[in-house]
Structure 1
């Protein structure tokens, strides 16, 4: 499970070296728990803490809006995902 990083964030991919002044997920509001920009996600109970997991939808939104920027290795992010093929519907 991914956690929101407090302070400077670094890519964990070997050889990347990319960093951000603060975790890019903090640049967007969370659509799941409504945590505002700059604040960590909240647990279902409503409280937050130092090791609260981020909601996947928030991470994907930050990526789609460009807050992560391009991956120098061409491996990460929504833009570098393999295209999903549609499965045929049952007849």
Structure 2
């Protein structure tokens, strides 16, 4: 099970579908040089795995030098039904 809090960036928790780099290893360009950003497919895969693992409401937050997972992260920013009532 990928640990999204164990790496410098949460996307590094999954293997890159494009360049095949292992979890924890930055993406590489076809030339072999380190990419300046993650491949789009790796970001999509990280999102998919994170949601499968933690649910659609969870979020990951920076905590000093590391990361923490807030299982109710998105719930706190969405208006709740009782907040939408006019009277």
Between Structure 1 and Structure 2, whose CA radius of gyration is higher? Answer: 2
| TM-score, with structure 1 as normaliser | 0.48
| TM-score, with structure 2 as normaliser | 0.50
More strand by share: 2
